[in-house]
A and B are shown apart, each in its own frame.
Chain A
Amino acid sequence: DTGVSQDPRHKITKRGQNVTFRCDPISEHNRLYWYRQTLGQGPEFLTYFQNEAQLEKSRLLSDRFSAERPKGSFSTLEIQRTEQGDSAMYLCASSPRRASGKVNEQFFGPGTRLTVL
């Protein structure tokens, strides 16, 4: 399967613990995105990378959240001191280098479902 992969698919943790999620984008996609999706809502943009550079962060991304893409390939999203409100599906997406005049399609992974007890 050459799509976007995410690990783990499910994570249950206790309030106050740290968690880390991994995303492997489609090979050669230079852009990588993180979204959060809560029940009954659409995905909400968190942040995105172009290669290893983090170009934008949403106000939703509090200082307890940090994302990295050290070598411009896979990315990690860490949440420190988790709170019950962090319970959500965390989606990763990737897209190829933008061709002039074209819109980049974002390809989504299956997500990591986080439950904070």
Chain B
Amino acid sequence: QQQVKQSPQSLIVQKGGISIINCAYENTAFDYFPWYQQFPGKGPALLIAIRPDVSEKKEGRFTISFNKSAKQFSLHIMDSQPGDSATYFCAASERNRDDKIIFGKGTRLHILP
């Protein structure tokens, strides 16, 4: 059973556009929701994360929107750049279990120059 469902599987966006990646979860014990960015040949790197006590978190061009009642969260990349082309993973972990992160299947993002 996939605990964190991510969509779309792949995404192509024009330079300067907004990239949006969506995730949904079922486990109400999840209380930490990070997004990871992975470039080819590299391990994932933490991009931005949110706790369910807020509905939005913004860091530079990256924003997480969180809807606790719908059990959904999304990543928005504003003014997308070719350097943002990578695979993005949403993830979740339970309270006091940040040792065990559950990842989505990933979204391969390509920004057209």
Q: Mark B100-113, 1 if CB is under 8 A from A, else 0.
A: 11111110000000
- How far, in angstroms, from A110 to B43 measured CA to CA in the complex? 4
Give the nearest-CB partner of B104 in chain A. A42
Is A4 in contact with B43, judged by CB distance below 8 angstroms? yes
Is B43 in contact with A33, judged by CB distance below 8 angstroms? no
- How far, in angstroms, from A31 to B101 measured CA to CA in the complex? 14
Taking each of A40, A43, A98, which has the highest tally of chain B beta carbons within 10 Å of its own beta carbon? A43
Is A108 in contact with B45, judged by CB distance below 8 angstroms? yes
B91: interface (CB < 8 Å)? yes
Is B43 in contact with A91, judged by CB distance below 8 angstroms? yes
Is A41 in contact with B106, judged by CB distance below 8 angstroms? yes
Give the nearest-CB partner of A4 in chain B. B43
- In the complex, what's the smallest C-beta–C-beta distance from B88 to chain A, in angstroms? 10
Is A43 in contact with B98, judged by CB distance below 8 angstroms? no
Is A98 in contact with B98, judged by CB distance below 8 angstroms? yes
Contact of B98 among A44, A91, A103, A110 (CB under 8 A): A103
A109: interface (CB < 8 Å)? yes
Is A44 in contact with B103, judged by CB distance below 8 angstroms? yes
B13: interface (CB < 8 Å)? no
- In the complex, what's the smallest C-beta–C-beta distance from B108 to chain A, in angstroms? 9
Assuming the contacts A103-B49, A106-B101, asked whether A42 and B43 have C-beta atoms less than 8 A apart, the reply is: no
Is A108 in contact with B43, judged by CB distance below 8 angstroms? yes
Give the nearest-CB partner of A98 in chain B. B98
B41: interface (CB < 8 Å)? yes
A to B CB contacts below 8 Å, 29 in the list: A4-B43, A33-B99, A40-B9, A40-B105, A40-B106, A41-B105, A42-B89, A42-B103, A42-B105, A43-B44, A43-B101, A44-B103, A45-B100, A48-B99, A48-B100, A55-B99, A56-B100, A91-B44, A95-B99, A98-B98, A103-B32, A103-B49, A103-B51, A103-B93, A103-B98, A106-B101, A107-B46, A108-B43, A109-B43
A interface vs B, CB < 8 Å?
Answer: 4, 31, 33, 40-45, 48, 55-56, 91, 93, 95, 98, 103-111
Q: Which 10 pairs of residues, A with B, have the shortest CB-CB distance?
A: A42-B103, A108-B43, A103-B98, A42-B89, A104-B98, A108-B44, A43-B103, A109-B43, A105-B46, A42-B106
